[in-house]
Amino acid sequence: MGKKRSLTMEIKEKIIFDCDNGMKQIDIANKYKVAQSTVSNIILEKKKKGFVTGHNLGAGRKRKTTPRNERILQRLVRKSGFSTVNDYKEMLETSNINISKSTIERRLKEYGFKKYTPLCKPQLSFKQRKRRVEWARKYVVKGEDYWDKVIFSDESSFVLPVGPNGKIWRKKGEGLKPQNTTRSVKHPASIMLWGCMTSQGLGRKIFVKGMINSLKYQEILSEGLVSTLEDINSEDEWIFQQDLASPHTSKSTRNWFIDNDINTLEWPANSPDLNPIENVWNKIKFMIRKTKPLPRTKQELQDLITKLWDEFSPNFCQELIKTMPKRCREVIKNKGYPSQY
C-alpha cells in the first residue's frame, strides 16, 4: 500500500469551510481527491477540539529539540541578536546541547525570528531617556487642538546621489562592466535645508550655505518662520518647535524669540522620533533615490527638492501631526528608548 498523502492546513481549512457552507462530504472528497472518511475525520476533529491539527499526533520524524532547548535558544537570540547561527551553535554546545545549524535556523523561523538590517537610532543616556519619558507624560494628554497650533522645524542634509541603490540583474563575471557598477565619490556634494510644517501643510523652506551659527539661524527664522506665520494668516497663538542644537538655544537666539513674541515648545534632547517633520525628510530622500534620471548637479538636486516639497499635501502633514499622542505613548512604553518613528 502506498504512503498516505498528508493534507496541508490550508486544504483542511478549505474542507471545513465547504462543510460549513452546506456542501456534502462526498462532493468535498471528490473536490480535493481524498477519501470521504478523511473528510469525515477532519470535520469530527473540528467538532471535538474546536480546531484541526497539521498532522496526526506522533507522525513524522521525532523532534530533535526539547522545549527547554528551544527556550534557551530564544534567550540567546534576544541577548545576542547580532550573533550568527554558528555562534548560537557554539553557545548551545557549552550547555551540552548539540543541535545542527540547519535545525537552529528552522527553530528560529518557527518562533518568528528573521534577520533584519538594524535600524539606526540615537544613543540615549539614562538622563536623556528619563527626560523623554517626563516630556511624553506631560504632553501625551494634549489634544489635537494643541498640536494643530505647533510649528515643527528642523534642518536636514541632502546628498547628491551618485548612482542607483539596490541590486542589479547581471550574469556571472559581468560585475565590473560600467553599466553594472555604481559610482563612489569620496566627498559627495550636499545641500542643507531648513524647513517647517504645520497642520495646514508645509511652511517655508530655506536652503542654507555653510555652517549654521546663531546669527545665521536667526536670519533663517526671520525669513522662514516669520514668513510662514504670515502665510498662515491666523490670529491664533502658535508654538514653535526646534531641537536643542547650540544655535537654537543660544542667548542671542532666545532674545530673538522674546523680541519677536514667539513661544517655543520645550523639547527633550536626542528626540528626532518625536518630530513629525523627520518623516518628511525621509520621504523626500526616498523620492530622490527613485527619480529617473537622478539629479547630476547641486542645482538639479535643489530644483528637485523644491518640486517635491511643493507637492506635499496638507492632509499628509495633518496625518503626521495627529501621531503626536501615539509617539508620546510609545516613548513612555519604551521607557525613553526610541520609538518606531
- Residue-wise pLDDT tens digits, 100-151: 999 999 888 888 888 887 878 888 999 999 999 999 999 999 988 999 999 9
72 and 137 co-located in one domain: no
* Max Cα–Cα distance, the chain, nearest Å: 93
**Number of folded domains that form the chain:** 3
Assigned domain for 175 exists: no
Query: Is residue 117, in this structure, part of any structural domain at all?
Result: no
Cα 245 to Cα 66: distance, rounded to the nearest angstrom: 53
How far, in Å, are 153, 225, 253, 310 from residue 262 at the CA level? Answer: 14, 10, 11, 26
Helix axes 101-110, 67-79, angle to 10 degrees: 80
Query: Who's near 130: CB < 8 A, 6+ residues apart?
Result: 336
Pair (82, 203) in one structural domain: no
Would residue 168 count as lying in a domain? no
Give the per-residue SS3 of 298-320. HHHHHHHHHHHHHHCCHHHHHHH
This prediction has a pTM of 0.70
On whether both 275 and 316 belong to a single domain, the answer is yes
- Specify the length of the chain in residues: 341
Is 299 within a domain? yes
Domain that holds residue 33: 9-49
pLDDT tens for 40-89 read: 988 888 888 777 776 555 555 777 888 889 899 999 998 888 889 999 99
* Confidence label for 1 from pLDDT (cuts 50, 70 and 90): very low
- Flag whether 23 is in a domain: yes
Residues 14 and 103 in one domain: no
Domain contains 170: no
Domain with 277 in it: what CATH number?
3.30.420.10
pLDDT score, position 151: 97
Q: Let me know whether 143 and 24 are in one domain.
A: no
Whether residues 36 and 80 share a domain: the answer is no
Contacts of 157 (CB under 8 A, 6+ apart): 190, 191, 192, 193
- In sequence order, the 6+-apart residues with CB closer than 8 A to the CB of 119 are none
Whether 264 shows a pLDDT value over 90: the answer reads yes
Which band of pLDDT confidence, cut at 50, 70 and 90, is reported for residue 169?
confident
Q: What is the pLDDT of residues 188-231, one digit of tens each?
A: 788 999 999 999 999 999 999 989 999 999 999 999 999 999 99
Q: Are 31 and 106 in a shared domain?
A: no
Domain-located, residue 25: yes
Q: Are residues 282 and 319 in the same domain?
A: yes
pLDDT for residue 92 is more than 60: yes
Predicted pLDDT of residue 56: 54
322, part of any domain: yes
Q: pLDDT above 90 covers what percent of the chain?
A: 56
* 38 and 93 fall within a common domain: no
In terms of domains, do 146 and 77 share one?
A: no
Q: Does residue 104 share a domain with residue 16?
A: no
Q: Is 21 helix (H, G, I), strand (E, B) or coil?
A: coil
Does residue 138 sit in the same domain as residue 259? yes
